[in-house]
């Protein structure tokens, strides 16, 4: 960032003098993740995205047929395919030497042996900030080079020459109470083909086809169960809309779409909207603003050794806290601010692409 400009939503960002409702004033609860876009409009927008992607990569690059052909050669299925199509004579040899597989088995370890070191830079020019940044950098570098992370990178690297791209996604694992990474098969990912880079945050949208059973989807989106069953009935997967064990165990794919849109709020004001939508057919299963972002923040108090020097900001000590609690008056070197617990200025899409 240039000069002393701060990133909106960063851990250190504070916005003083925010107006809040007075004590005793009744205000309706607001959902910070609520997405104000009609379902019918969303269905049309997302269908246009997907159709445009399919048409572009089919007409211009014949991408999907080339991927299938690469799979055949990489996994050594040429002979089986030729026999299925009855192109081999009885006297022709069935021998093959899959050199491509051997080459990839050599190139991948070379690439994985050169994983770069990760470093974190301090937000402020101070000894404390530098020490914290060094500790964070060591933690991140260690996690990236763990066996699980190297496996994910290795699998993504193997996808790249076969499918011309590879995709890694991150998500929060509630069972592990930690974030996780995984490789998404390129056939299950579609994206903004008009974007000039492979940076997902520069893309207008990224769509993932998520395999799941009917029962899993119904349990995940209970409020949309009836509409979802109507779509299944249209596709012949749930005759009469009846819940049978066979229908509930049927595996289908629904769409998870992360996108960025802009909405005009006033003549001179535009609002950026980062959101995620889950969709099956013409049914919007769920929608919300990007949940990996703090839109509300919290009120916190900070003290300054020098009220005019931002670099002297620190947490309030016990005496300052006692004065605040018992007298109800804010000490002269203390400010109340709105803090947002975000690393980035804007919400980010949870995808990383290689290739493209």
Q: What is the pLDDT of residue 306?
A: 82
* Mean pLDDT computed over every residue of the chain: 84
Instruction: Using pLDDT thresholds of 50, 70 and 90, give the confidence band for residue 232.
Output: very high
Least confident of 125-134, 317-326, 338-347: 317-326
Q: What is the pLDDT of residue 30?
A: 59
Q: What is the pLDDT of residue 29?
A: 52
Whether 287 shows a pLDDT value over 50: the answer reads: yes
Whether 14 shows a pLDDT value over 50: the answer reads: no
Average pLDDT over residues 216-225: 95
Whether 31 shows a pLDDT value over 80: the answer reads: no
Q: Which residue has the higher pLDDT, 55 or 75?
A: 55
Whether 326 shows a pLDDT value over 90: the answer reads: no
Instruction: Using pLDDT thresholds of 50, 70 and 90, give the confidence band for residue 343.
Output: confident
Q: What is the pLDDT of residue 255?
A: 97
56-69 per-position pLDDT tens digit: 999 999 999 999 99
Instruction: Using pLDDT thresholds of 50, 70 and 90, give the confidence band for residue 100.
Output: confident
* Three-state helix/strand/coil letters over the chain: CCCCCCCCCCCCCEEECCCCCCCCCCCCCCCCCCCCCCHHHHHHHHHHHHHHHHHHHHHCCCHHHHHHHHHHHHCCCHHHHHHHCCCCCCCCCCCCCCHHHHHHHHHHHHHHCCCCCCCCCCCCCCHHHHHHHHHHHHHHHHHHCCHHHHHHHHHHHHHHHHHCEEEEEEEEECCCCEEEEEEECHHHEEECCCCCCCCHHHCCEEEEEEEEEHHHHHHHCHHHHHHHHHHHHHCCCCHHHCCCHHHHCCEEEEEEEEEEEEEEEECCEEEEEEEEEEEECCEEEEEEECCCCCCCCEEEEEEECCCCCHHHEEECCHHHHHHHHHHCCCCCCEEEEEECCCCCCCCCCCEEEEEC
- According to DSSP, the β-strands at 178-184 and 283-289 are unpaired
């Amino acid at each position: 960032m240039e000069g002393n400009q701060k990133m909106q939503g960063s851990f250190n960002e504070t916005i003083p003098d925010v107006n809040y409702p007075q004590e005793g004033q009744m205000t309706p609860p607001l959902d910070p993740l609520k997405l104000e876009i009609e379902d019918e409009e969303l269905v049309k927008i997302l269908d246009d995205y997907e159709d445009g992607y399919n048409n572009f990569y089919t007409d211009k690059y014949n991408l999907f047929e080339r991927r299938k052909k690469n799979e055949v050669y990489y996994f050594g299925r040429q002979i089986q395919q030729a026999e299925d199509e009855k192109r081999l004579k009885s006297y022709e040899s069935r021998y093959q030497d899959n050199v491509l597989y051997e080459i990839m088995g050599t190139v991948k370890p070379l690439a994985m042996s050169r994983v770069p070191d990760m470093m974190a830079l301090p937000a402020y020019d101070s000894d404390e900030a530098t020490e914290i940044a060094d500790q964070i950098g060591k933690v991140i570098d260690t996690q990236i080079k763990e066996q699980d992370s190297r496996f994910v990178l290795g699998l993504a690297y193997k996808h790249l020459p076969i499918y011309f791209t590879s995709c890694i996604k991150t998500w929060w694992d509630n069972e592990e109470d930690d974030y996780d990474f995984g490789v998404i098969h390129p056939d299950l990912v579609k994206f903004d083909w008009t974007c000039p880079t492979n940076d997902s945050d520069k893309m207008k949208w990224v769509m993932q086809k998520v395999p799941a059973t009917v029962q899993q989807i119904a349990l995940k989106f209970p409020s949309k169960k009836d509409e979802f069953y109507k779509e299944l009935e249209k596709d012949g997967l749930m005759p009469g809309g009846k819940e049978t064990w066979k229908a509930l165990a049927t595996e289908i794919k629904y769409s998870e779409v992360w996108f960025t849109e802009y909405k005009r709020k006033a003549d001179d004001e535009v609002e950026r909207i980062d959101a995620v939508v889950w969709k099956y057919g013409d049914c919007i299963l769920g929608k919300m603003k990007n949940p990996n972002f703090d839109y509300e923040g919290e009120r916190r108090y900070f003290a300054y050794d020098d009220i005019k020097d931002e670099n002297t900001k620190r947490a309030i000590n016990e005496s300052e806290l006692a004065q605040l609690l018992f007298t109800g008056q804010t000490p002269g070197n203390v400010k109340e601010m709105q803090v947002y617990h975000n690393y980035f200025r804007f919400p980010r899409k949870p995808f990383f692409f290689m290739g493209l």
